[in-house]
A and B are shown apart, each in its own frame.
Chain A
Amino acid sequence: MKQFSVKIEVKLKPVVLDPQGKAVLNALSGLGFNGVSDARVGKIVELTMEGESAEEVSRKADEMCRKLLSNPVIEDSSVEVVEK
């Protein structure tokens, strides 16, 4: 069995309004950071997983996203797998 670092990024779909991102955008412009036209806030879940191959681990992580880590109605997810 090999060890893998798995990084899962979950973010709201582009069509879904992101109230948190909007607040961050307003705060940034309030602080004087000009030229920022959009801000979106997402989540990162980092896992340490065992498996035979990166493909197998990646498949498992995709299933985790569908079942729990993301809500496919409003969120997109992406998975990055690196062998330790």
Chain B
Amino acid sequence: MPSFGVLFFPGSNCDHDCYHAIKKILGRPCELIWHEETSLEGIDCIVIPGGFSYGDYLRAGAISQFSPVVSPLRELAARGVPVIGICNGFQILVESGLLPGAFIHNSSLKFVCRWTNVKVEDTDTPFTCLLRRGEVLKLPVANAQGNFVLPPDGDNTRERRIVLRYCGEGGEPTAEANPSGAEDNIAGIANSQGNVLGMMPHPERSFERVLGSEDGRRMFECVVSWIESRGRKSSGVTNLDPLVSSQK
């Protein structure tokens, strides 16, 4: 059965939400992993939760990139193991260079906490493989620095795969639907292999009908199915051909 690992840093605050969602609602093995851990062997999917690691000092996620656990994280990411960074987890992935881009303050200058609609733009990732391209998910955001900026044109790290885009209920990517002012309405991007996903909305807060949406759980059902269909390959995921061939 796929085993999940939720990394947590000083200042993470969504770690137990992720743990609860995976362990109790999804019913999958899950462990909380402190940022000083130096091995992630046996983990099939890494979750980097939201919060304010290191108090967002300097820049959100800037200090966490040097935590010991980031070394084995880089190795797993390079091997194709699914990695999802949520909110501050997304900021950590960007600061550590595992995903392109950067974050600045929301254009409203406010902490934004509300439901958003996001359109699925790429279904060739472990976290979207069972979803339909173009379908609209309902997921909540809660952040102050969710204003995603891509590297400038011409920069070779500008290559990216947009996976989720803020949109209206019908899927139109309008400015009103964009809670932070993020470039190109980007709510989630993946690395070129597709196995590392960063997203600002919180899937772990939309796991049950009682919370207002179950769409976040559907993303985690995707990754369970993705891992099971490939066998447990945490000791060396190799078959990424379907992902590579569909790169944009």
Contacts and interface: CB of A to CB of B under 8 A. Distances in A.
What band does the interface of chain B fall in when counting residues whose beta carbon is under 8 Å from A? 20 to 34
A17 B102 contact: no
Nearest to B66: A68
A16 B152 CA distance: 10
Nearest to B145: A19
Interface residues of A, number: 14
A12 B104 contact: yes
B99 to A, nearest CB: 11
A22 B100 CA distance: 26
Contacts of B155: 73
Contacts of A73: 100-102, 149, 151, 155, 157
Nearest to A67: B66
Interface string B96-109: 00001110111111
A19 B180 CA distance: 11
Nearest to A69: B58
A47 interface: no
Given A68-B58, A71-B62, A19 B105 contact: yes
B104 A68 contact: no
Contacts of B102: 71, 73-74
Contacts of B95: 71
Interface in B109-127: 109
B151 A19 contact: no
B28 interface: no
Interface string A52-84: 000000000000000011010110000000000
B147 interface: yes
Q: Which of A16, A17, A68, A71 has the most CB of B within 10 A?
A: A71
A15 B101 CA distance: 14
A35 to B, nearest CB: 23
B59 interface: yes
A28 interface: no
A17 B107 contact: yes
Contacts of A16: 104, 149
B104 A17 contact: yes
A69 B59 CA distance: 9
A23 B109 contact: yes
A75 to B, nearest CB: 8
A17 B108 CA distance: 12
Contact of A71 (B59, B66, B105, B152): B59
A20 interface: yes
B62 A68 contact: yes
Nearest to B101: A73
27 contacts: A15-B152, A16-B104, A16-B149, A17-B104, A17-B107, A17-B181, A19-B104, A19-B105, A19-B108, A19-B147, A19-B181, A20-B109, A23-B109, A68-B58, A68-B62, A68-B63, A68-B66, A71-B59, A71-B95, A71-B102, A73-B100, A73-B102, A73-B149, A73-B157, A74-B102, A74-B104, A74-B149
